[in-house]
Amino acid sequence: MVENIIKILQNSISISIFKYHKLNSNQINDLRKNIKKNNIKLIIVKNSLLKISLKKIKLNNLLENIKFDNIILCHNDNPGLSLRVFDNFLKKIL
């Protein structure tokens, strides 16, 4: 599992971390659909596994953000795209 996470993170030029603890399963599924349309990888993984992965690829500056239930969005083309997609998603549900 850690190796898969590392592979995704290493192949991404953009990594965004968002808390999702207040989203229900239907909202997460809607987000997955929007993410998939834009060729963005969505990772929901235990914090311990994510921390191990980040340490192994020396992204220690992201470790302080790993405290709660997180969604990690990774994109390998347009660095701002995942932020725009997530922002549009939030506007739709709020």
Cα(91)–Cα(94) distance, rounded to whole angstroms?
5
- Give 60's DSSP letter: G
> Running along the chain, 94 residues long, what does each successive block of 10 average in pLDDT?
93 89 90 91 92 94 86 89 91 88
Task: Confirm if 47 and 2 have CB atoms less than 8 A apart.
Answer: no
| Whole-number pLDDT of residue 55 | 95
Q: Which domain holds residue 60?
A: 2-93
> What is d(CA 59, CA 51) in angstroms, rounded to the nearest whole number?
9
**Three-state SS at 67:** coil
Domain total of the chain: 1
pLDDT at 62: 87
pTM of this structure: 0.84
| DSSP E strand stretches across 1-94 | 14-19, 41-43, 70-75
- Both tokens assigned to 40: 């963005």
Label residue 58 left, alpha or beta by phi (over 0 means left) and psi (-120 to 50 means alpha).
Answer: left
CATH number of the domain within which 14 lies: 3.30.70.1730
